Structure 1
Amino acid sequence: MTRIDFYVLPSSDLQERLQTSCRLSAKAWQQGINTFIRCQDTAQMEQLDALLWSYPPERFLPHNRYRDNPHAPIVLGDSIPTLPQPQLLINLATQIPPEYGLFERVIEIVVQDPQHLNSARENFRHYRRCGYDPQRVEL
């Protein structure tokens, strides 16, 4: 069964979500885990793409957009494509993709923005209704 974690940040800054997704992607890559980061839209995907080119400053994280290279260790997209080995999904979109059960693990990154908190709470309840036991991790 898919493991689902909600990483809760103390900040209300939405940019912190992107930076945290970079840190989590770097850690996953070091462990040989294929990661798909689902972005809310093209604008967020562009922001994250630019951030991944410079994060961390001393290292390169091999990533690409799905349409450019779906086999990259870190793949960015705004919808869930068919992936060769879906392991980790970092969901930055407000809604849960129907394909989340294909992944071994799903991470939702939560900030203290009121609108974002409401969608995160709804996602948490959805996972529970579907029989999952999402865990809350305070960062």
Structure 2
Amino acid sequence: MTEILFYHLQSQPVERVLPQLLGKCLERGWNVVVQASSEERVQALDDALWTYSAESFLPHGTVRDGAVETQPIFLTPEDINPNKAKVRVLVDGASGPDLAGYTRAIVMFDGNLTDALATERERWKALKAAGHQVTYWQQDGDGRWVKKA
């Protein structure tokens, strides 16, 4: 079964946390598909990944960039996996595919939004009931990740 990690964001936005997680995936040799809720959100994440650090670069692209099968990190609002990713990242409530074909899935959500919290609790229950290994990470007051479940 797929290992699924829920990241409950409280003090930092997705744009600050996502680059670190993507970097760790690439260090392991895993291609990644990041699925957002809309094309506008994909564009915002694309922009954020280009500018998040002056000292670092994360190779990534969208359908507009072409050669999607060669992108180590592919950003999309769709349920596709053109780069044969081992990791699926779902942000902003994006409803993804059957996650069974992935080594790992990461669900990132803004825990300050009541609707997002309720939606992801239901997703957690469903994925756990389906037999996936799920873990729940929440930021503490200093922005560090603490495993809660």
TM-score (norm 2): 0.81
Q: Hey, what does 2:117 align to over in structure 1?
A: 117
Structure 1 residues 69 and 18, CA, compared in 2 at 3 Å: closer, same or farther? farther
Aligned length: 136
* Alpha-carbon distance in structure 2 between the residues aligned to 1:33 and 1:60: 16
Q: Could you tell me which residue of structure 2 aligns to residue 20 of structure 1? A: 17
Give CA-to-partner distance per residue, 1:58-114, whole Å, 9 cap, x none: 122110014523221110001122434321111114143233222110001132221
Residue 129 in 1 paired to residue 129 in 2?
yes
Any conservation in 2 of the 1:96–1:123 contact (CA below 8 Å)? Answer: no
Q: Which segments of 5 or more consecutive residues in structure 1 lack a partner in the other structure?
A: none
Q: How far apart in 1 are the matches of 2:123 and 2:94?
A: 7
- In 2, the alpha carbon distance for the partners of 1:106 and 1:73 equals 16
**In percent, how many aligned pairs have the same letter?**
24
Partner in structure 1 of residue 142 of structure 2: none
Task: Name segments (4+ residues, structure 1) moved above 6 Å.
Answer: none
Given that 1:55 and 1:61 are in contact with CA atoms closer than 8 Å, whether structure 2 keeps it comes out as no
Q: Following the alignment from structure 2 to structure 1, what is the Cα–Cα distance between the partners of residues 81 and 133?
A: 25
In 1, distance between residues paired with 2:81 and 2:39? 19
Partner of 1:59: 56
Structure with the bigger RCO (C-alpha within 8 Å, sep 6+) is 1
Structure 2: stretches of 5+ with no match in the other structure: 139-144
Instruction: Supply the RMSD in Å over aligned alpha carbons.
Output: 1.8
TM-score after normalising by structure 1:
0.86
Answer with 99-108 or 40-49: which moved more.
99-108
Please say which of residues 76-85 and 30-39 is displaced more in the overlay: 76-85
CA distance in 2, matches of 1:37, 1:56: 19
